[in-house]
Amino acid sequence: CHLIHYLRLSHHLIVLNYLICTFDKLKSVSSEDIKITDAVFDGVEVRVFEPPAKADESLKRSVVYIHGGGWALASARTSLYNNLCRIMAESLNAVVVSVEYRLVPKVCFPEQYHDALRATKHFLQPDVLAEYSVDPSRIAISGDSAGGNLAAAVCQQLSKDEDLAVRPKLQALIYPVLQAFDFNTPSYQQNMNMPVLPRYVMVNYWIDYINGDYGLAHELLVNNHTALNVGRALSFRARLNWTSLLPPSFQKSYKPVVQATGTAAIVERLPALLDVRAVPLLADDATLARQPRTYVLTCENDVLRDDGAMYATRLQRAGVPVTLDHFHDCFHGCMIFTVWPTDFSAGVQTRNSYIKWLDENL
C-alpha cells in the first residue's frame, strides 16, 4: 500500500515539477528595463530585480517575494517565477527580492523558514535598503503557496523583533498553506482529488517538510493527530474552528471531522505540526494584532482555499485591515502559469488583481 502511495506521489511530483520548471533555470540576464542580479543575503541566495532610476524619484518601494512549490520544488530562477518577479518590478516600479531558500530533501523544517527570515532581515537593514535605493516605509513581504506559508511565518516573527528598525508595510499571501491541523476543512473535502494539488499530495508535502514518515499519511488525513484526546492540540482548536471562521458560502454542507480518540504520539514525534513557525494559522491573537495590512488571494478549486480564508478572518478580528480576494473559477498555482506553453487566463487574472492591490497599497 505504501509503495503504491509513494509511486502515485512520485508521478505527481514529476509532472508538477515539469510544469513549474518548464524551462531550465535562467541566468541573471538583465533587460533594458530591469536589472537582474544574483546576490547572497546573510548566507541565503536571492535574485534582485531593479527597475531603472527615474529622474524625479529618490527611493523605490520594494517586495520580498518567496516562491511556492511545497517547500520542495521550483526556484527563484525558473522562468515562471523569474517572469512573475520581472513583471512585478516593471508594473510597480519596485525592487523585488526573490528568495532562493533551500529545498526538501536537502533540508527540512525549520531551515526553509530560517533561510527566508535571514534573507528578509538582511534586506531590511537600513544600509542594505540604501544600497538598493529602497524606501524603508514601503516594503511588502509576499509569497505563493508554501512561499505564502514562509512569508506569513516570517512576518509574524518580524513583528515580535524589538530590535528591528524596519518592518514590512504589507503582507500579500497567494493561496497560502497555513495549517496542518485539519485536513478536512470544506475546501480539503471539496477539492480532495483536484488536479495540481490533490489532498494526499498536500499531506505528503507536509510530511516531507517536517521530516515525517509517509506511513503517517492516513492518520493525518482523518485528523487522528488532532483528536480530542490529544492534549497538546486542544488549546489550538478554537484558532482553526472553520465553523466560526468561514462564511457559509465556503462551508457549504460539509461537516467537521473531529475524532474522539486518535494518536497523540504523532505530535510528540512531529512537534512541528503545532509549531507556529510552520503553521502560522496557530498564532495567538496578540501576534496577529501586530501584523501589517494584509492581502490574501484564494481560489475556489484549491484544497488550501480555507487556510487563507480562516487567516483573513482571524486577522480581521484582531484588528488588521485585510483584503480577501477570492476567485471562483481559478485553481491552485494558477498565478505563475502565464508563460507559454502554460499560459492560462486564470494566471493573468489573478496576477493582475494581486499587482493592482500592491500598487494601490504599497
**Cis, peptide link before residue 110, omega less than 30° from 0:** yes
Give me the catalytic one of 62, 75, 98, 145.
145
Residue 294 and residue 362 in contact, taking contact as beta carbons nearer than 8 Å: no
Which residue(s) pair with 98 in the sheet?
A: 47, 65
- Rounded CA separation 310/299 (Å): 13
Q: Which three cell numbers stand for residue 91?
A: 508594473
Report angle CA 26, 153, 256 to the nearest 5 degrees: 110
DSSP per residue, 288-319: HHT--EEEEEEEEE-TTHHHHHHHHHHHHHTT
- Dihedral, 243, 246, 251, 257 alpha carbons, nearest 10: -40
What are the backbone angles phi and psi of residue 63, rounded to the nearest 5°?
-130, 125
Q: Classify strands 44-50 and 94-100 as parallel, antiparallel or unpaired.
A: antiparallel
Active site residue 159: no
Give me the catalytic one of 302, 306, 307, 325.
302
Contacts of 10 (CB under 8 A, 6+ apart): none
Active site residue 2: no
Active site residue 332: yes
Residue 305 and residue 187 in contact, taking contact as beta carbons nearer than 8 Å: yes
- Rounded CA separation 96/62 (Å): 6
Which residue(s) pair with 297 in the sheet?
A: 174, 325
Active site residues: 145, 302, 332
